[in-house]
Structure 1
Amino acid sequence: MGTRVSYPYDLKMKAIEMRLAGIPVKQVLNELNIRHKTQVETWMRWYKNGELHRFEQPVGKQYTFDKGPVYENEQTRLEVENRYLKQQIEVLKKYAELERKWLEK
């Protein structure tokens, strides 16, 4: 499985402009160095549906109705953020431990 590619907002809008001007998909892919034609088709669908906020969302986080998940209250949002930050700390601790082991060798 390949790695995910995150395209900048400007490139997405340029691809849409080119398609609206009647430029073929293959030419758009070659000129802008986009991997798959379905990506351009998805951007066109979002553009036609007026879902412009989706162009600035990160890969894998394409929320349809808003710019992010909706939490029931502030407490829930803080709990999710806290869990995320704890996971980041754990990853850094594991990396520090691995780095220490590498330096001992």
Structure 2
Amino acid sequence: MSLARAFKALAHPARLAIVRALLDEDGCCCGEIVRRLPLAQSTVSEHLKVLKDAGIVTGVIEGPRACYAIERDALKAMMAALGGLTLPACGTRTAAALRHEPVRGEELT
């Protein structure tokens, strides 16, 4: 799973809503998601394809039904990646405050 691809897939509000619905129900079929969200069936199907291609959901098609569930290991990997972005020594300086500091390597005049 590409973390960049997975985060990009979750960047769309509809896909994030679909993931929330799948988490709430511990997986469900496409029709159940359509009933729950204000989206057309074709739209939900397309978003589920993006989520599946990104490795965030798994799906099984049985006849006319397509059922999906969250790939929990993928979400755990994404959460771990986000946790690794914390910088405890970063401090509390804002970007506005930093613009008044000299750039490292510049001579002070």
Using structure 2 for the length normalisation, give the TM-score.
Answer: 0.30
Using structure 1 for the length normalisation, give the TM-score.
Answer: 0.31
Structure with greater helix percent:
1
Q: Which has the higher contact order (CA 8 A, sep 6+)?
A: 2
Structure with greater strand percent:
2
